[in-house]
Amino acid sequence: MTRVLGVGLLTGWGAGVAALPEDARRAAGERRVVTAATPPLAGERFRRATRECLLGVAAVEAALRESGLDRAAVAGPRTALVYVTAAAYGASNYAFIGAETARPARAEGGLSEMRSGSALYFPYTAPSAVPAEVAIEYGLTGGYVILVGGAAAAVDALWQAGTLLTAGRADTALVLAVETFEECAARWTTPRPLVEAAACAVLRGGGELEYGPGDASALETLVARRAGETLACGPLVGLALARAAGAPRARVTGRWRGRRAQIALAT
Amino acid sequence: MSRTLGRTQAVAVVAAGVATPLGLDLDTFWSALCTGVDGISAIERFRVDDLRVGRGGEIKKLRTLRHGRLPRCRASALLLLAADDLLARAALTADPARVAVVVGTALGGVEEGERALGEGGVRAAAGGLYDSPAQALAERLAARGPVLTVSTACASGATAMGVGADLLAANAADLVVAGGYDVLCRFVMRGFDALRSLTRERVRPFDRRRSGLLLGEGAALVLLARDADAPRVRLGRLLGHASSSDGSHVAAPDPEGRGLEHAVRGALAAAGVGGEAVDFVSAHGTGTPLNDKIETAVLRRVLGGRAGAVPVNSIKGALGHSMGAAATLEAIMCLLASRDGVVPGTAGYEEADPACELDVRGVARAARPRVSLSTSLGFGGCNAALVLEGTS
């Protein structure tokens, strides 16, 4: 069975599952968005990187640490990267559009309003910018899939990573999800607190994958209660919670646009 | 699981449907490609007077659907037009819960976000989510299986077909409608224009005088089924696929083409064939000085001594770079070339470039490839390759 070596987790609540409150809604109070701190990654390499990119890089770093792997262990063509997001391209898109419409989206962190609207930042409007920065930072040149969607798409991403491992197309797979909301908070109408997050699961091993439609798992309920609405990060938060609880196996589920998907993994 | 490691299970490409500047159905598109029709024109649908380049592969007029109305979102409309064309050629005969939709896009519904911001603010911009058009397609098809949106930039159409094949191999669906789409809109024109990627001249893939790309729009869908379950009458088979990341730059391809080469070799390995089996290459061939040179080097390494003898083309000279739709359109073109024994020419190609020593021709030629290789690259260091087998 495909197994999870480790999960790196950064949320608006802090780093790791220990930072998650018992009740996210209560902890959020009146806040509509619980913003994740911008990782302090400085230097020329990241001069144009968006906040989403920095969160992605930091989540992978945390995942490797949790997995006991160093960078050399994942560099090269035998590590696949599967990235998923429902929202993390929103800030750069709206900044780029806003630069023309004179209604610039409010941007924070590594990207100012004027900079984000300029031509050099156009490539950062693509969802592929986040995994690109991750691939560059860690030297990942293996299988590469980018999915757009919420929690169900994250389950799809875990399945896709498992497929790459099972087919022998990769030895290690990183499943990365990043969600940011601060710059476009008004467009989201979900009732729970929106909690920014970046999460990365390191997978190895192969075998038949239990993947398909399914009912909500207990983990999904737990993730909603403890983390709040993290969209595509939700199933990865679930894996982190399962590992923290010492569960040998986890059935993670995720729902998005009326569809719920599930997958079972060894944790 | 009884597969050879690294191999992917071949899936049948049952039928295809398209919406392109060359035609809003498969037959018109194919005829135009073979006869050298130019799909590039002055962009009329939105303002371009402040841009360096205002031309592209724009679809001037959308036709009506056989059933239902076209949505306001142009991306969804193009997808539904391609689906309309597809469904005129093949029926979705599976349980709706076993029909999956996997579509690739570089831009999603961003034009809706652009419009919403211009008209009334961020709250109205929900349609700008990148996965909205795929949902519109799934609803129209009444597909209730997995609905996935892939966004590996301009390689999206190939990645989507690969993910669709994986869904079938995993028995997560019995039929998959897979493909890609993107629209020409001010958002993307502003971006590419400012990057100086667009040419003021003709698009000339692999030509000595090539000076850049032009964007286009379109949608392309294929119906995939497990080989054993598919009808005997089909366009062909997807034998193998692979993807890779360059890990070198956010916007530019790896100068050595190492990522692309890895994807190509991976796809060939997945198909269980070597470079010597490739009869035809549908290149990404954007017409930028760098892309075509890199692709040439990769193809020469993969094809070895046969590189100069294997027909290569790029259809981007005829319809522009249709981004998320491009790779699926090119895969379909490969299968039609096998079916009809004609390889379309590379519009705009006239003068050979010593840096692009490949068998490229400006006009269509008689050839009936059995095994074709299709290559794709995109922003973010995205690479994807497909190995296809046609029916003759």
Domains of chain B with CATH codes: 11-390 (3.40.47.10)
CA–CA separation, A9 and A84 (whole Å): 15
**Is the separation of the CB atoms in B51 and B189 below 8 Å?**
yes
DSSP state of B209: T
Q: Between chains, do B130 and A89 touch, taking CB under 8 Å as contact? A: yes
Cβ neighbours of A136 in B, within 8 Å? 247-250, 381
Chain segment B50-76, per-residue pLDDT in tens: 999 999 999 999 999 998 999 999 999
pLDDT of residue A46: 87
What are the CA-CA distances from residue B64 to residues B75, B80, B294 (Å)? 15, 10, 41
Nearest to A209 among B170, B262, B378 (CB): B170
Identity of the amino acid at B242: A
Nearest to B147 among A81, A208, A259 (CB): A259
Structure tokens at A63: 């995942």
Structure tokens at A248: 């040998």
pLDDT of residue A104: 41
Q: Which site among A1, A148, A184, A259 would you substitute to test the B interface, given the most B Cβ atoms closer than 10 Å to its Cβ? A: A148
Chain segment B146-201, per-residue pLDDT in tens: 999 999 999 999 999 999 999 999 999 999 999 999 999 999 999 999 899 999 99
B39: pLDDT strictly greater than 90: yes
Structure tokens at A34: 């619980």
Structure tokens at B85: 């064309």
CB proximity list for B245: less than 8 A, separation 6 or greater:
A81, A131, A132, A135, A140, A141, A142, A144, B259, B380, B381, B382, B383
CA–CA separation, B388 and B157 (whole Å): 14
CB atoms within 10 A of CB A41: 17
Q: How many helices and strands, by DSSP H and E, does chain B display?
A: 10, 15
Provide the angle, in degrees to the nearest 10, between the axes of the packed helices A151-166 and B156-169: 70
Q: How far is CA A152 from the centre of its chain?
A: 13
Average pLDDT over residues A111-127: 68
Chain segment A150-195, per-residue pLDDT in tens: 999 999 999 999 999 999 999 999 999 999 998 887 777 766 789 9
Cβ neighbours of A72 in B, within 8 Å? none
CB-side exposure of B249: number of CA atoms within 13 Å?
11
Dihedral (C-alpha) A147, A4, B380, A194: value to the nearest 10 degrees? 60
CA–CA separation, A127 and A31 (whole Å): 27
Please state the domain extents for chain A: 3-266
* Nearest in space to B55 (alpha carbons), one of B65, B44, B63, B68: B44
Chain segment B213-248, per-residue pLDDT in tens: 999 999 999 999 999 999 989 999 999 999 999 999
Q: Mean pLDDT score of chain B, rounded to an integer?
A: 94
pLDDT of residue A119: 66
* Nearest in space to B239 (alpha carbons), one of B265, B264, B273: B273
Give me the helices (H) in chain B, please.
26-35, 74-87, 110-119, 132-141, 156-169, 186-194, 258-271, 289-303, 316-319, 326-340
Q: Between chains, do A98 and B194 touch, taking CB under 8 Å as contact? A: no
CA–CA separation, B381 and B153 (whole Å): 9
Q: Whose structure tokens read 């780029």?
A: A96
Average pLDDT over residues B30-37: 98
Cα angle A199, A121, A124; round to 5: 30
Q: Active site residue: B73, B241, B284, B382, which one? A: B284
Return residues 141-180 of A near B (CB < 8 Å): 141-149, 153, 156, 159-160, 163, 166-169
CA–CA separation, B179 and B165 (whole Å): 11
Task: Indicate the pLDDT class of residue B350, thresholds 50, 70 and 90.
Answer: very high
Burial A91-118 (b: 16+ CB within 10 A, else e): bbbbbbbbbbeeebbebebbbeeebbbe
Return residues 191-220 of A near B (CB < 8 Å): 207-209, 211-213
* Nearest in space to B225 (alpha carbons), one of B115, B99, B117: B99
The CA distance from A48 to the nearest CA of chain B, in Å, is 10
Q: Whose structure tokens read 């030629």?
A: B365
CA–CA separation, B109 and A93 (whole Å): 11
CA–CA separation, B265 and B260 (whole Å): 9
The class level of CATH for A3-266 reads: alpha beta
The answer to whether B321 is a known catalytic residue is: yes
**Is the separation of the CB atoms in A73 and A202 below 8 Å?**
no
